[in-house]
Amino acid sequence: MAEEGHSIDGLVQGYPKKDGTFEYGTAGFRKDAEVMDFIVMRMGLLAALRSKVCGGEVVGLVITASHNPVKDNGVKLVDPDGGMMAEAWEEIATHLVNVNDGDVAGAVGDIAKRFNVDDAATGCVYIGRDTRPSSDRLLQAAMQGVSGIPNVSSQDFGVVSTPHLHFLVRAHNLKQSSDYWNVIGENYQLVAKSLPISDGSAYTGDVLVDGANGVGAGCAVQLNKACGDYLNLSVINDGTTGVLNLDCGADYVKSNQREPPNHEFLPNQRCCSFDGDADRIVYFSKDGDNVFHLLDGDKIAVLIAEFIMELLEAASLHLNVGVVQTAYANGAATNVLEERKIPIACTSTGVKHLHHKAKDFEIGVYFEANGHGTVLYSDKATKMITDAKAAESETDSLGPAGQLYHYMQISNQAVGDSCADLCMVELALRKKQWSVQDWDGQCKFLPNRMLKVKVADRRVIKTTNAERQVTEPSDLQPAIDSLVAEYEQGRSFVRPSGTEDVVRVYAEANTQVTADHLAARVACAVFDNAGGSGQRPQEPSPLGAKRVKH
């Protein structure tokens, strides 16, 4: 436990500002680790102030750069409810980090005055970090920053996953159990015990976990112990020899649509990949013909939503279940949800948007295609499920309401969580007694391609309809519509990056060749209409009659 005791001016001298302009986004601040020291110190100051403003409730600070290369690092704050920092404070964070060294004390004073912060008020900041070599150094910067605000302490939880720290903050403030592994493990075992595997079942509890050479590798080992004999996790890319996120992890598997190259995977083996801070998960396998199959956030969302709805029906509970997607959701997944009459909401890219939208449902399932997601339960849903469990006859095996109650306890309702999500997927597969091939066969994804186009200023791109349509430049959307019309099952959208001057292009079509072709042509349209910078994307050769819709 670290206590206060440093002047802000003295801290600034020890952590002078680096050149550049920095913006707090969904991922907090994220840069090359050599730039991060002063940013982390100032975020320590802000976290301490935030705790005071929130009546002394614990606030979290996580040092991580998630799926970024090991040379990078980052920092983001966790609000008392365990969620991301309130959006209104993002502007405050951006301002505090960008003011000159001589103005930091004044900026802190302005924040304190704005929110009527009393010097005598107390607060506490929980701090966690990932496995990056720079994280130990940045931990000291964070703790020093917290010490600059009177009567606020910090507690270092060491190397933990991002969702684990979110869980700890939420649990403390809600006065719930803070034993993360016990909460997940006990509830998993209770549900798994009530779902016996029959003879000849295609399901086994064997899963190969790619730990991205990060904190998630250790998490998988802990999870394996917590879940007992009902789950058998083996771990590759455990950090003993490999480099964090290099040719491994959820982002690598999703972006490259291939398995990590440093391991030989068995045919039809069920595998999953965590990202560098263990808040994303994607599944994958290779079939008997050595063809790679990806089961990403879209397929996870469909599986979990269906599982929950089956349990609700069996328990005679009537609750509104919905799935939140972004424009990146594969069109085939959207079609399956519509066919199965599961309500869908679409929102802008970014976890904070999905998390907020999921609260519109009594049970909200949200997953980005990249594998970041969770399930949220409203107060109404929690009470109904709890009451229904209490009303069930007590036997050695849980009834459907009891299964749903303990399944609900596994969900990390603060943030996406690789370990919790793995457990939710595995229980759904166990109930259905599906192999990974059975699961994959429920929804055949449309081939897709993602590209990025360098532009002079990404801000020239304006979008609407959850980023699915461009409003500016005015000629760009008609150009995209014209191209999409030429492809069978074609769909494409573009959006400006949140962190760099590039425009991201997404396209899907009936074959990989046509999806690649459409993406390349849309990229050229973006370059021509949105002030492309550098070399223009190569215009693909015509596909001829194969391209035209029938």
Rounded mean pLDDT, 23-35: 93
135 is catalytic: no
Rounded mean pLDDT, 174-179: 96
H helix or E strand, kind and range, residue 305 = helix 297-314
Whether the per-residue pLDDT at 499 is higher than 70: the answer is no
Rounded mean pLDDT, 520-531: 95
308-325 residue pLDDT tens: 999 999 999 999 999 999
284 or 444, higher pLDDT: 284
Q: Rounded to an integer, what distance in angstroms lies between the CA atom of residue 36 and that of residue 190?
A: 44
* Cβ-based neighbours of 193, under 8 Å, separated by 6 or more: 230, 397, 398
Give the model's confidence band at 5: pLDDT under 50 very low, under 70 low, under 90 confident, else very high: low
345-389 residue pLDDT tens: 999 998 889 999 999 999 999 999 999 999 999 999 999 999 999
Q: CA separation (Å) from 75 to 34, 93, 169, 243, 279?
A: 13, 11, 16, 20, 15
Residue 272: strand, helix, or coil: strand
The pLDDT of residue 1: 36
The DSSP letter of residue 57 is -
Give the model's confidence band at 544: pLDDT under 50 very low, under 70 low, under 90 confident, else very high: low
Q: CA separation (Å) from 420 to 185, 376, 410, 427?
A: 10, 13, 6, 11
Residue 254: strand, helix, or coil: helix
Residues in a beta bridge with 474: none
The pLDDT of residue 505: 95
Whats the size of the chain, residue-wise? 550
Whether 1 and 40 have beta carbons less than 8 Å apart is answered as no
Q: CA separation (Å) from 513 to 206, 503, 538?
A: 35, 22, 15
**Active-site residue, selected from the candidate residues 7, 51, 66, 135:** 66
Give the model's confidence band at 26: pLDDT under 50 very low, under 70 low, under 90 confident, else very high: confident
- Work out the burial of residue 416: count CB atoms within 10 Å of its CB; fewer than 13 is exposed, 13-18 middle, 19 or more buried: buried
100-143 residue pLDDT tens: 999 999 999 999 999 999 999 999 999 999 999 999 999 999 99
The pLDDT of residue 393: 80
Q: Rounded to an integer, what distance in angstroms lies between the CA atom of residue 227 and that of residue 430?
A: 14
| Long-range own/partner contacts, residues 84-92 (CB < 8 A, 24 or more apart) | 84/26, 84/351, 84/352, 84/355, 84/415, 85/24, 85/28, 85/50, 87/352, 89/46, 89/50, 90/24, 90/25, 91/24, 92/46
Q: Rounded to an integer, what distance in angstroms lies between the CA atom of residue 401 and that of residue 545?
A: 55
The pLDDT of residue 454: 93
User: For 23, left (φ over 0), alpha (ψ -120 to 50), or beta?
Assistant: beta
User: For 4, left (φ over 0), alpha (ψ -120 to 50), or beta?
Assistant: beta
Whether 71 and 65 have beta carbons less than 8 Å apart is answered as no
In the numeric block, which tokens belong to residue 298?
Answer: 């879209």
* Cβ-based neighbours of 199, under 8 Å, separated by 6 or more: none
Whether 247 and 257 have beta carbons less than 8 Å apart is answered as no
Domains annotated for the chain, with CATH where assigned, are 8-174 (3.40.120.10), 190-197+205-295 (3.40.120.10), 297-441 (3.40.120.10), 448-547 (3.30.310.50)
Cα Rg, the chain, nearest whole Å: 24
Whether 284 and 294 have beta carbons less than 8 Å apart is answered as yes
